[in-house]
Structure 1
Amino acid sequence: MLSYAINVTLDGCCHHEAGLAPDAESMRFWTARIERARALLYGRVTYEMMESAWRRPADGRWPAWMDAEDIAFAEAIDRAPKHVVSRTLTSVAWNAELLADGPAGWSGSDEAADLGAAVRRLIEQTPGDVLLGGVALPDALADLGLIDEYVFVVHPVIAGHGPTLLAGLRERIRLDLIERIDFRSGATALRYRPA
């Protein structure tokens, strides 16, 4: 199953600098999602952002700014198998492998079919959930009908700018709510499946 999971503001912004500071409760939520997943799937931008923030430092010690919830998340994501879709990277590290080329030219091209085939193979070969993150790659995979589940942690913030969630979809996708978790911070985790 391919599960797309992301933090988002009330106005749909999904940029990590839009005031989406996670609290201890949401960090525990994300840690549990990462631990349940059998693989992570990212585009280049998300992969590089996550690696720079959460890869274990060479000396093995986590930075002083991390609290217990940050460290638990960092350890979970650090050891998780990762797959990266990129046109520009020729190699990846951090327990990762390149999956397919992307992101330009997906819509309506042979490249979209190639991307779809590569992701389908990954899903079929992974015994359990593949957790998808990012912005551009999920647009393409949603257009291909490959996302089985959407998980949004909606934060009580209005960003007013920045990239928005699934802004490149060609057609709307109707969803059924299957779970809701309210956090004390005012954030809400919403889990949907396509209707």
Structure 2
Amino acid sequence: MRPLRYSINVTVDGCVHHEAGVAPDEELMGFWTAEMQRADAVLYGRTTYEMMQSAWRRPASGVWPDWMDEWEIPFADAIDRVPKHVVSSTLDRVDWNAELMQGDLGDAVRALKAQPGDGLSVGGVTLPLALAELGLIDEYTFVVHPVLAGHGPRLLEGLSERVRLELVERREFASGAVMQRYRSPGGS
């Protein structure tokens, strides 16, 4: 069974908004590239899918935009290639190497996890909360940035029950960010 991994940047006060001042530097982008490369596929909700597509989809010209630093290109290549599964009740079609997930969320994710491979990745805010509620996330990776945002969406805000986790890895970055990787003993 493939593990489902949730990975996200977060501020010290728990904000997970992409504009909270947690943009990766070259070292962190290398970390996120390696995370993307170990995923057989990613699961996104509509908002995250559209946000990631607008930032990281290879342009039709095949040439990455001028705003992109050379050290961001490996991540862009990795996310552009990986198959994507999108959960949405408002989209009727997707592209960018993506397909819409159909039916019951829990059943659909269990079917993906049952396929052979190294693992699945989920990103965003709302979808991971739903998957955590279903007990389907096996691993949580939080890159905690030395920033206090003071507002914005919070990490897994609204989770109905406590989830005990086991710390399995910790890494400090030159920026002061700290990666903490946890396993969920109850993940399925």
TM-score (norm 2): 0.95
- The reply to whether residue 194 of structure 1 matches residue 184 of structure 2 is yes
User: CA offset at residue 100 of structure 1?
Assistant: 3.1
% identity of equivalent residues:
66
Whole-angstrom distance in 2 between the partners of 1:52 and 1:153 = 23
Deviations 1:115-165 (A, max 9, x none): 100100011124121001010000010010000000001111000000000
Q: Which amino acid aligns with 1:29?
A: F
Aligned residue among 114, 119, 126 for 1:124: 114
Aligned residue among 156, 168, 177 for 2:167: 177
Runs of 5+ unmatched residues, structure 1: 102-113
Q: Could you tell me which residue of structure 2 aligns to residue 142 of structure 1?
A: 132
Partner of 1:12, secondary structure, is coil
Whole-angstrom distance in 1 between the partners of 2:71 and 2:165 = 31
Q: Could you tell me which residue of structure 2 aligns to residue 40 of structure 1?
A: 42
RMSD: 0.9
Partner of 1:165, secondary structure, is coil
* Off by >4 Å, runs of 4+ in structure 1: none
Partner of 1:100, secondary structure, is coil
Partner of 1:192, secondary structure, is strand
User: CA offset at residue 18 of structure 1?
Assistant: 0.6
Whole-angstrom distance in 2 between the partners of 1:100 and 1:157 = 38
Runs of 5+ unmatched residues, structure 2: none
- The reply to whether residue 156 of structure 1 matches residue 146 of structure 2 is yes
Whole-angstrom distance in 1 between the partners of 2:91 and 2:116 = 23
Aligned length: 183
Whole-angstrom distance in 2 between the partners of 1:35 and 1:165 = 24
Aligned residue among 72, 76, 79 for 2:78: 76
Q: 1:23-62 counterparts in 2 under 5 A?
A: 23-62=25-64
Q: Could you tell me which residue of structure 2 aligns to residue 107 of structure 1?
A: none
Deviations 1:44-68 (A, max 9, x none): 0000000000000111111111112
Q: Could you tell me which residue of structure 1 aligns to residue 6 of structure 2?
A: 4
Q: Could you tell me which residue of structure 2 aligns to residue 22 of structure 1?
A: 24
